[in-house]
Chain A
Amino acid sequence: MADQSPAMNVVKSFILKEFLPGEDPANLMPTTPLMSTGILDSLATLKLISFLEQEFDIQIEAHEADEEHLETLEAICKLVDSKR
């Protein structure tokens, strides 16, 4: 597995804590599908976006709050990186 950047670790911890209580962290991988599996439902997605904007001091557009941009840890980090 590729090294996880500090940003990815931060996002991963947030998702585990907020949406996957009791889950073994090893199960959440950079390419684990999150939205299409119901792990992130629409409410969770809003919370995630709020967190990303605050944590990384970025703005996420409405059209970026979708499966294409938020489906995996990898995709999320790619979105975050593109804003910094």
Chain B
Amino acid sequence: MKMWIYIVRRVLLLVPVIIGVMTITFAIVSQLGVGNRLVSTLGPNKFGYSPTIPCSRLVPNETGLCPNPAYYNGLHALGLDQPIWTQWAHYMYDSLTLQWGFTSAHGPTSLVFGEQQLPVATVLSWYLPYTLELAAISLALILLIAIPIGNYSAVYRNRPIDQGARILSFSGFALPSFILATLALVAATVIGGGFTPQCGNESFPYYQFVGSWPQPPCLPGGVYPSWLSTNFQSSPTGFPTIDALIHGQYWLAGDTLFRMLIPAAVIAFGAVASILRFVRNSMLEVLNMDFVRTARSKGVSESRVVSRHAGRNSLNVTVTVLGLTFAGFIGGFPIIEEVFGLKGIGLMLALSIQPPYDYGLIFGSTLLFTIIVVIANIIVDILYAYLDPRVRLG
């Protein structure tokens, strides 16, 4: 099969998956309760949002219960009085035409944004870059650890170094990230002394490791710079370190990077196990191949065999696994971001699923993450087929 037919087929198969994900998300989230939805969108009401309320004395009723005007007006305002399939059609149409709606003014995110409705796409674009940067640093750390150690483990298979690497990587998998992150934070705090100068309440080393940015007293001028909005949205790119560099504040760039190092190390430690495993096993497979034996019999030195002949060829699988790992990372690290107080997308998502729920943000972020994962899957498959021509397409 030709490459482009394969790609077109994969992209076409993507359509039912995305529609299915959207439908399932819609089906589940719409079960979260009309009451919650009315509260989070319209705010508290003196009648409450139950369908019926006790009648006033002027309008008696034999049951004593009258329809609640706030409830029905709210339903009508949000379009929830329409049949469920109409709502679904509206939701699909709006999502596919990139009208992702607004955050709820009275939902959980009002803790961050105040009582205002912000476009969901805008909120995602504020918080995604930070997570992307964190994910990139974590991935770099993973690569730095996994490729050399994985290759060593394969070469010295079942020797102490292999067993040690195995135990180390498994402990990363087996340690709960919330415990590891807290321990790392405690250790950093106790050892103390960060990059940030001691100022304000940052005389506690704790604050040198918690938060995406230093607290205002530590900043030049004592306030957040103008390119950093109150919602911690940095402009123009949104990537904190890059923005600080663009604005020439090298110290701040270094500090934001420094604050990402421990979280990134925790993430990398947790995720390195599977990648290390892939590197090791694919290297083992390649080392048993004929061309490696040929290279050895020609008298090529062992280090050159490992680094050049086998190393290059064993990376195919690793590349694909790395792609999927990175796609998974984009969903954010709610736990790590919560422990270290980082303003990333995972924290936002964890916040949006607290009652009374931020419906716009739940829908928007689910759709975004799904699209990213699905597209990453396709890219990885294509890349794999390209890197390894023996893979039969189709």
Q: Do A and B bind each other?
A: no
